[in-house]
Amino acid sequence: MALGLNKILVSGATSNTASAYFQNQTFAVTSNSTAVLTSGTYYVPASANISVEVQTVANTWTTMVAVATGGLVISDGTNVRIRNADTAANASLVLVTVNGGANASGTYNT
């Protein structure tokens, strides 16, 4: 996950390569269960039985992206989760995020 969305773009780079803007990230969710998304910005594809929920200030979960629809989600790593509504099968969802790239070395790094 990148801390920002700014990237140097390299022409012809495909997803999941060193210079690519996008990177796939897979999340597994067991049947009739949820999984919290790690912090980041994600494109969520339309997927059967999968929805995205957000935790409100009232400490309740509400649907932000409905089943079989896609969208853009920004997660803080705690209050956004995906839900698998399928009661019989586990699910694996591939989200698209910004490629975090490699750590930069330099004089002022801590």
The position carrying tokens 């929920």 is: 53
Kindly state the tokens that stand for 57: 């200030």
The model's pTM:
0.77
Which amino acid makes up residue 74? I
Question: In CATH, what class is 22-98?
Answer: mainly beta
Render each residue's pLDDT in the chain as its tens digit; 110 residues.
445 556 666 667 676 676 677 888 999 999 999 999 999 999 999 999 999 999 999 999 999 999 999 999 999 999 999 999 999 999 999 998 887 665 556 666 66
CB neighbours of residue 72 within 10 Å? 10
